[in-house]
Amino acid sequence: MLSQTRLKTPREISELDAQHVLVPWKKQGGPRGLPITRAEGVYFWNADGKRFLDLTSQFVFTNFGHGERRVVDAIARQAAELPVMASSFVTAARAEAAQAIAEVTPGDLNRVFFSTSGAEANEAAMKFARDLTGRPLIVSRHRSYHGSTFGAMTLSRDDRSWPFEPALPGVMSAPLCDPYRCPFAPPGERCTDCAGHCVSLLEDVLQQYGPHRVAAIIVEPITGSNGLIVPADDYLKQLREVCDKYGILLICDEVMTGFGRTGRWFASELFGIVPDIMTMAKGLTGGYVPLGATVVREGLAKQWDTRPLLHGHTYSNHALACAAASAAIAVYRDDHLVERCAEVGPYLLQRAEWLMSRHSSIGDVRGKGLFVGMELVRNRTTKQRLIETGAPSPTVKDRVLAKAMEEGVYVMAGQASNVIVMTPPLTITREQIDEGVDVLDRALALADAEVETSSTW
């Protein structure tokens, strides 16, 4: 047994971790990351004092960076005063956090249900939609990710859920809008009329099941971890119209796109729509304390004024997490981080395009704000993915990311995609972006080596 009285070495910590901690999404016997001891701003440090640039905001949650004092202090104050009360009591922390959310969300998204994660926020959204409409079916879209709990996993459409199927009945899957991989796109090009095509494909799915039986359609306004897919400009507006036509609720999962990430408070605004239900987590507290929220339009939520809301958790409205949310929203506001993201974002996109001009393995670059993806392909003309689903690890993508890490840059690629995702804290400077891009420039040579030599670029 290891001694409890002296500081453990990094190796001892890693051994202890390997003995006892089950890590998400990984073979438990494989590599499990470096022991990290400190984080500040856009950087974090390992136990040996080596510094890493966080080009991904961890799992896209440290939107205002690491070690933000104003949020840490608010958490400490709340911890000292009243860390938690059962949801049967009112606390200032929860009332103020809900008010702050209502102020920054678009339209009349005014009523907030608090949980502790993005998946839970989506579980609530599913139940709310069925309860509010009395309809049984939910439609989600291919290549979505909405969380790993059973319901959220059913909404998610990637190979991570295959071992657990059959999943929830009553969830239908429809095509999404991906101008790069649109079935109507000419070979090697992007689709120029994607919105209309893809909304009609989705409407066709509704017709198969009966639109009057569909409670809600759930979308990530910009698909995140499954490939950073930016839809055509008009797609969400047209989808909103289809929902209105059939009385279907539109749920926007803004767990990843919320809180300034795309240069607007929420990506829904970027596309000029107000969803009926919006879900959020991650940037809501910058990840400092786990918190999810499901926000419902005033007119809909009124239904629960006269009948019970049949949903809840022991930790609904957790005071410590709610205090972190209010402080986080104040930081976004006081430091104008949303505006900052809109200003610096185009520079990140431009640098990604520069990488594409130098690396044949990048088939497409896309993004909004500080939410930018680079899709890896074997062949730019056929758009064949560099790594096929189910390819054994370490894949070339894993090797690119490992090489970047070796050189001091932490960057992520979707579990089920070929897309390298750059989502740094909204506080990043142009110089720090350059620092990350220079390292990626070297690491991507590993991917170029796998490209078909006949590929034109």
Ligand X SMILES: Cc1ncc(COP(=O)(O)O)c(C=O)c1O
Closest to ligand X by CB, 265 or 359 = 265
Distance CA 457, CA 455 (A): 6
User: Of the candidates 5, 73, 44, which has an alpha carbon nearest to the alpha carbon of residue 288?
Assistant: 73
Minimum CB–partner distance for residue 222 and ligand X (Å): 9
Closest to ligand X by CB, 221 or 345 = 221
Is residue 279 a contact partner of residue 294, using CB atoms and an 8 Å limit? yes
Minimum CB–partner distance for residue 155 and ligand X (Å): 9
State how far Cα 336 lies from the chain centre: 21
Minimum CB–partner distance for residue 225 and ligand X (Å): 5
Closest to ligand X by CB, 119 or 349 = 119
Residue reference for tokens 């949980």: 115
Minimum CB–partner distance for residue 440 and ligand X (Å): 22
Closest to ligand X by CB, 147 or 260 = 147
User: Of the candidates 335, 334, 366, which has an alpha carbon nearest to the alpha carbon of residue 353?
Assistant: 366
**Which residue number has the CB closest to ligand X?**
118
User: Of the candidates 397, 398, 396, 352, which has an alpha carbon nearest to the alpha carbon of residue 371?
Assistant: 352
Closest to ligand X by CB, 97 or 219 = 219
Bond before 187 cis per omega within 30 degrees: no
Is residue 345 a contact partner of residue 425, using CB atoms and an 8 Å limit? no
Minimum CB–partner distance for residue 255 and ligand X (Å): 4
Distance CA 256, CA 227 (A): 12
Minimum CB–partner distance for residue 24 and ligand X (Å): 9
Binding site for ligand X (CB under 6 A): 59, 117-119, 122, 145-147, 220, 224-225, 253, 255-256, 281
Minimum CB–partner distance for residue 61 and ligand X (Å): 8
Closest to ligand X by CB, 59 or 457 = 59
Length, in residues, of the chain: 457
User: Of the candidates 382, 431, 435, 384, which has an alpha carbon nearest to the alpha carbon of residue 408?
Assistant: 435
Q: Report, in angstroms and rounded to the nearest whole number, the Rg of the chain calculated over CA atoms.
A: 22
Per DSSP bridges, beta strands 171-174 and 137-141 are parallel
Dmax over CA atoms of the chain, in Å, equals 67
Closest to ligand X by CB, 119 or 198 = 119
